[in-house]
Amino acid sequence: MKAAVYHGKEDIRISDVDTPTIGDGEILIKVHACAVCGTDMRTYNHGHKSIEPGRVLGHEFCGEIVENASNNPLAIGERVVMYIVMPCGECRYCQKGIDNMCMNRTTLSYHHDGAFAEYVAIPEKAVANNHLYKVPDAIHSDAAALCEPLGCVLNAHGRLQVTSDDQVVVLGSGPIGVMHALVAKVHGAKNVMLLDPSKERLDIAERFGFDHYIQVSSDKAHHDAVMKATDGFGADVVIVACSVAAAQSDALELAGKQGRVEFFGGLPKDKPMTTLDGNLIHYKELMITGSFSEKRIDFERAQDLIMTEKIPALDIITHSLDIDNLTDAFGMMTSGESLKVCIHPNGVI
């Protein structure tokens, strides 16, 4: 079968490899769609300390069961999505119900071969713990593949607790930023503002009908625009949906008093430091949070929002490509000419 195999920084090869042979308790899935994640691009551009050479990448996927060597009642031919985090269930964090923080977790595409391939084998532990979820016939496989990243977004919103009184700024209009803005709308936010330096990206995101689209500028005219849009109060919630240190600093200035600020995107590993104005945090009484990955409850909530079409997942996907064009997808997403790109290892649907 064809698969995207990681060999190191800037070295992902589309190779012919053996189709996985599943063992007892495992399930084999024919991959219909696997979306490109920011982590995939960072792994390609910079490498990844947790991913060994030879690993097949890809973790935002939907596919069809073709073999089942387990007692799980899922049937051959059913389409499924997967909660990819496999926690130990025993450590301090698992006992507290925050399985995304498990000290011994393993994850598809990091510790097990992923879904940028014609077929992917689902480990026995994931099958036994019911990590596979059926997809309704009416939902496109591309849309279903976005359950994983949407679950990560919902993990952040679990602490932000957006309400109908809130005015929300999202810094970054890529696919994750758009998802954050859509979730804020689902939660009833009265004013959602999407900010980005790229006018092209903002133009793409106009299809979602947010309240304000504001271009970030070096002269900080976007600060005035946010203040005008919030009647001079600033935002109740500011979400940094990009891996830019300057955006983290900017967020504190855009937030209003007692604002909640979420640092969703991690910074580059070689430049992890940021400078924050401590007085803004102090005098505005700001609350700053971060988020990482997702819990099972977040993934299940994401499923519900996509399967009931409360989140228009298919509209987030702007391009579909064959697996041979995977690195082209990285370039498209980096340049801002696309939102989400889906890879179809068995041919474009």
pLDDT, position 348: 76
According to DSSP, the β-strands at 235-240 and 85-86 are unpaired
157-290 CATH choice from 3.40.50.720, 3.40.50.620, 3.40.220.10, 3.40.50.1980: 3.40.50.720
Tell me, what amino acid is at 56?
V
pLDDT, position 116: 99
Query: What is the chain's alpha carbon radius of gyration, rounded to the nearest angstrom?
Result: 20
pLDDT along the chain (349 residues), means of 10: 97 98 98 97 90 97 98 97 98 97 97 98 98 98 99 98 99 98 99 98 98 97 99 99 96 99 90 94 98 98 98 98 96 93 91
User: What residues does each domain of the chain span?
Assistant: 2-150+294-344, 157-290
pLDDT, position 265: 84
pLDDT, position 49: 87
CATH assignment, 2-150+294-344: 3.90.180.10
pLDDT, position 349: 67
Predicted TM-score (pTM) above 0.95: yes
pLDDT, position 294: 98
pLDDT, position 67: 99
